[in-house]
Copies of this chain bind each other. A is one copy, B any other.
Amino acid sequence: MTFPVVGMVGGGQLARMTHEAGIPLGIKFKLLSDTPQDSAAQVVSDVVIGDYRDLETLRAFARGCDVITFDHEHVPTEHLRALEADGIPVRPGPDALVHAQDKGVMRAKLDAIGVPCPRHRLVSDPADVERFAAEGEGFPVILKTVRGGYDGKGVWVVRSSKEAEEPFRAGVPVLAEEKVDFVRELAANIVRSPHGQAVAYPVVESIQVDGVCDTVIAPAPDLDPELAGQAQELALRIAKELNVVGHLAVELFEAVAPDGARRILVNELAMRPHNSGHWTQDGAITSQFANHVRAVLDLPLGDPRPRARWTVMANVLGGDYPDMYYAYLHCMARDPQLKIHMYGKDVKPGRKVGHVNTYGDDLADVRERAAHAAGYLRGTITE
């Protein structure tokens, strides 16, 4: 057979949707999953059940693959170096990935390459947090464990050194950041290939609720075109400097500078397909998933431009009802253009179990349709 084998580590919804995008390319998809019930394991043919943290499991899995890529960013750096030593391309590579895995390393690197960030430094204890606050505008400040956080976990907003005690209990280094008084959050997503070709998606607005992504609007409404261009160039530069291969999501704050002008600051990096890019499945010529596959295979990238004037993604989180399928009748009948993307995961309150995409020319209408469908699926809207 002539088609390559892409090995995906991690069986979550990102792997599921990457497999979905890989099917039409005829490539072979091999999955390393924690359990057979994982989101991606339900829809992939070639699944190995095993623990990615065990090096021998990982190496055995990789042996049948032409390239390894990831659904998450938790694979230890040393394991990835071992795979590279075995001769398997790892994309993105460990030297890039560490900047998505360790926020302290990420901040140091972004500083070194002159990328605007919130004021920040590593802090050693609550007293140090108090000093950090005093060095700037005072409390509240943001504290983050340098490793392990996602969807609001591992992040604290603290208003005093007393509240600053909890983050240190994990025994992991803690990063302090100023709490940015942002106008809104944006994401500048790009895909970069091993030979350096890169494409930039339209900059989007990302709305978080309780620390979790709720809605994404593509493109970000009323975003100054020059600021949008700056955001895209920033993401492309970060990808190049860090040698990222595959999809890179750069989460940004749009804030007002002292002189009143708008400016952007980098919040987080993710080196995998990302929630802020799910809209591309229906709203762009080439989805983030399809381009991630092309990039890790070193194939020419697909056109990232939008196919619709406005595209909105709304996350579907678990609510009180375990059965979301019953909601399809209403949602599909109400909106024949609705694009549903469910992950096959058991419903647990607050858990990401799917998303919906809507698109069209009228932003208010596109937003309402997405919000209604997501709410109805979740059970918070009942008619």
Which A positions have Cβ atoms within 8 angstroms of B? 1-4, 16-17, 19-20, 23-26, 28-29, 41-45, 47, 281, 285-286, 294, 299-303, 307, 322-326, 328-329, 332-333, 336-344, 346, 354
Contact = CB atoms under 8 A, between A and B. Distances in A.
19 contacts: A2-B322, A2-B324, A19-B23, A24-B281, A24-B341, A25-B328, A26-B340, A26-B344, A26-B354, A41-B45, A43-B45, A285-B337, A286-B337, A299-B328, A299-B332, A300-B329, A300-B336, A302-B336, A303-B336
Q: Which of A20, A43, A286, A332 has the most CB of B within 10 A?
A: A43
A285 B286 CA distance: 15
Contacts of A337: 285-286, 302-303
Contacts of A324: 2, 26
B16 A23 contact: yes
A41 B44 CA distance: 10
Contact of A44 (B1, B43, B339): B43
B302 A2 contact: no
A228 to B, nearest CB: 21
A149 to B, nearest CB: 28
B45 A42 contact: yes
A340 B25 contact: yes
A325 B3 contact: yes
A112 to B, nearest CB: 33
Contacts of A303: 336-337
Given A4-B325, A307-B307, A20 B24 contact: yes
A295 B344 CA distance: 20
A322 B3 CA distance: 11
A326 B24 CA distance: 16
A2 B286 CA distance: 31
A232 to B, nearest CB: 17
6 shortest interchain CB distances as A-B pairs: A26-B342, A300-B332, A2-B323, A300-B333, A303-B336, A24-B341
Q: Which of A45, A281, A329 has the most CB of B within 10 A?
A: A45
A16 B45 CA distance: 12
